[in-house]
Chain A
Amino acid sequence: MSNTKFILGVYEDEDILLSAITKIRTAGVKIHEVYSPFPVHGIDDVLGYKRSKLSIVAFLFGLLGTSLALTMQIGMMGVDWPMIIGGKDFIPYPSFVPVIFELTVLLAAYGMCFTFFIVSDLKPWARPRIFDLRITDDKHVMAIDLDHNKIDVAKIDKILKDNGASEVNQKTFDET
């Protein structure tokens, strides 16, 4: 990617934005991404995004936590250094419940969150493309990648304006 040119439709209201996305997509324009200051309900449906699989990731990490906790406790108390404590079994399963629960939750939470950071490219040294400084304030911005659209600029401009965009801007990112 050397020069990437985007045409940006700025929206003030989330409901206008949602209906605009549907109309613009049916008009055959490919939307690169929509940027919002807050989560807009229903936006993934109109953009055609599938439900995130992060909950499955959390479940799998949770399973890992459960098995790690069991292995650790059985290994330490029952195999490596068995000791009689209060006349209990060497492997007292009821006593293992709290630690199993805590490690399950811990690994599920951290596993999911770090997966989220990785797949969304969130990291302290990230250099994000800032399409518009007002995205994190009060404006929704729809970015359309000109390299991926055969329709000419003036036409996209008109489609955006007809569907309620308050401004239409252009921005070029020089990424070499």
Chain B
Amino acid sequence: MSSESVIREPLITGGKTVHDVTEDISRRVEEKPTKLWMLAMTISLGLLAVGAYTVFLLLWHGVGMWGLNKTVGWAWDITNFVWWVGIGHAGTLISAILLLFRQRWRMSINRAAEAMTIFAVICALQFPILHTGRPWLAIYWMFPLPNTFGSLWVNFNSPLLWDVFAISTYFLVSLIFWYIGLIPDFATIRDRAKNKISKSIYGALSFGWDGAAKTWSRYETVALVLAGLATPLVLSVHTIVSMDFATSVIPGWHTTIFPPYFVAGAIFSGFAMVLTLMIVTRKVYKLEDYITIQHLEMMNIVIIITGSIVGVAYLTELFIAWYSGVEAEQYAFLNRATGPYWWAYAAMMTCNVVSPQLFWFKKIRTNIAATFVLSIVVNIGMWFERFVIIVTSLHRDFLPSSWAMFYPTFVDVGVYVFTFGLFFTCFFLFAKFFPVINMAEVKSIIKTTGEKAK
């Protein structure tokens, strides 16, 4: 039955048995919250509270609290939105595309990566909701609901509306994909629960899962079909986000390269965020046997590839601007690199194109500290990428008399801080109350890829 492979390193080290997997992962859900967790939670709740105050100011006084002006009408809000959505690409990519490619190394990281995806998309959604100024009315502006406000229906020609459908579909599909994977693991925790309260809570969460072969067979079909559906979905989301820009007539935005370039950038930043979180989680939860150096190396390889695609896209943009002969286009790119926002462009180039190339060295891509630092550098770079695309294309308006600069206010910063608070609060709650590794999937590969398998 089992095939022999001598070349491949075991994916799960430490001679773990199936029972060890249950113990190692469930223990984290069952133990009392540690001091470290309490501290981390306090900090995130603090960020959330500070941020919530600025969100209140924004809603009370209006979007004028942001640093936007007549020329730069989009700045941090959409930068942060695109940044968070990009981060939200890794989870479903890992669980869907890597499932179709039968990459077993996904199994140790898919649960946490999907959780991160869902929380990142929730953070992203804050910006389109808040930028409407009056979110309680926005439901009529965003969704096709009958109303009496003028034009009766939403405009299906608008890429912003496509975005509403793309992001909400992505969120809902990722959520159910994640939840279906969680059901068998919740059942494990239910069956181990000592007290009545957790037994009934995890009992409800596990939907009465009993592990029957018939249900497993259906479960596998569902997972495969969901992966097949989610794969084009992942690629469609950032494609449609890029169309917010690409279908406009602003020099620097209306380029056909945007969809693939945005998708590669999204995967790039998503994997960077997964690395940042997983390196900390594996250390704190002592999961070194499940998330091995090999797992980190695989993710670093994805980072080199997608980072290089992003680099090629940057250079292609410059080339096409020159080759097209369109002066406005040429000016937009020259201004990006040498204008008043040259520092943002330089930060983007260094963090996204130059520094990830260090991962070509095996020593660096298998070094945990270096990976951790570079993963944060990548996400700083990806923030600057969006900032560069959005602000530098807008700030030199068609008339020199309306040229302007963008200066963020404390409300701009505060709303960004709010999403960080929201993200980490959700992530820490997940890390404490949900199994952080997909136990059932890891158990299924113990025999073939564990250390005891020969």
Binary per-residue interface labels of chain B (140-169) against chain A in the complex, 1 for a CB within 8 Å, 0 otherwise: 000010000001111111010110011001
Q: Is the CB of B233 within 8 A of A136?
A: no
Chain B residues with CB under 8 Å of A122's CB are 183, 207-209, 215
Select B216's contact among A18, A43, A106, beta carbons within 8 Å: A43
Chain A residues with CB under 8 Å of B151's CB are 81, 83
Chain B residues with CB under 8 Å of A49's CB are 213-214, 217
Select A40's contact among B165, B184, B216, B240, beta carbons within 8 Å: B216
Chain B, 195-234, CB within 8 A of any chain A CB: 204-205, 207-222, 224-226, 229-230, 232-233
Select B22's contact among A76, A81, A88, A137, beta carbons within 8 Å: A137
- Of B184, B187, B188, B225, the most chain A CB neighbours within 10 A belong to B225
Q: Is the CB of B214 within 8 A of A33?
A: yes
Select B211's contact among A92, A123, A135, beta carbons within 8 Å: A135
Kindly state whether residue B257 has any CB partner on chain A within 8 Å. Answer: no
Query: How many chain B residues touch the partner (CB < 8 A)?
Result: 65
Kindly state whether residue B347 has any CB partner on chain A within 8 Å. Answer: no
- Of B19, B155, B169, B213, the most chain A CB neighbours within 10 A belong to B213
Q: Is the CB of A110 within 8 A of B172?
A: yes
Kindly state whether residue B39 has any CB partner on chain A within 8 Å. Answer: no
- Cα A110 to Cα B175 with chains together (Å): 11
Chain B residues with CB under 8 Å of A77's CB are 153, 155-156
Q: Is the CB of B210 within 8 A of A135?
A: yes
Chain A nearest CB from B388 CB (Å) reads: 26
Q: Is the CB of A138 within 8 A of B443?
A: yes
Kindly state whether residue A96 has any CB partner on chain B within 8 Å. Answer: yes
Chain B nearest CB from A53 CB (Å) reads: 9
Q: Is the CB of A34 within 8 A of B191?
A: no
Given A39-B216, A136-B184 in contact, is the A109-B226 Cβ separation under 8 Å? yes
Chain B residues with CB under 8 Å of A125's CB are 204, 208
Interface size class on chain A is 35 or more
Q: Is the CB of B209 within 8 A of A43?
A: no
Given A54-B222, A112-B222, A135-B210 in contact, is the A37-B165 Cβ separation under 8 Å? no
Q: Is the CB of B191 within 8 A of A40?
A: no
Chain A nearest CB from B28 CB (Å) reads: 16
Query: How many Cβ-Cβ contacts under 8 Å join chain A to chain B?
Result: 198
Kindly state whether residue B18 has any CB partner on chain A within 8 Å. Answer: yes
Given A58-B225, A127-B208 in contact, is the A138-B217 Cβ separation under 8 Å? no
- Of A73, A113, A128, the most chain B CB neighbours within 10 A belong to A128
Q: Is the CB of A85 within 8 A of B447?
A: no
Given A43-B213, A44-B213, A128-B209 in contact, is the A54-B191 Cβ separation under 8 Å? no
Q: Is the CB of A34 within 8 A of B156?
A: no
Q: Is the CB of B443 within 8 A of A37?
A: yes
Q: Is the CB of B218 within 8 A of A138?
A: no
Kindly state whether residue B176 has any CB partner on chain A within 8 Å. Answer: yes
- Cα A124 to Cα B207 with chains together (Å): 4
Kindly state whether residue A47 has any CB partner on chain B within 8 Å. Answer: yes
- Cα A125 to Cα B203 with chains together (Å): 8
Q: Is the CB of A109 within 8 A of B229?
A: yes
Select A129's contact among B172, B210, B225, B233, beta carbons within 8 Å: B210
Given A15-B2, A44-B217, A102-B236 in contact, is the A33-B205 Cβ separation under 8 Å? no
A76 (CB) vs chain B CBs: closest residue: B153
Chain B residues with CB under 8 Å of A98's CB are 159, 162, 165-166, 236, 240, 243
Binary per-residue interface labels of chain A (29-71) against chain B in the complex, 1 for a CB within 8 Å, 0 otherwise: 0000111111110011001010110110010000000000000
Kindly state whether residue A95 has any CB partner on chain B within 8 Å. Answer: yes
Chain B nearest CB from A81 CB (Å) reads: 4
- Cα A21 to Cα B157 with chains together (Å): 58
A-B contact pairs, 5 of them (CB 8 A): A37-B443, A80-B152, A105-B232, A116-B180, A134-B191
A47-B213, A76-B152 are known; give 7 further A-B pairs, CB within 8 A. A43-B213, A54-B221, A80-B152, A98-B162, A98-B166, A105-B232, A106-B169
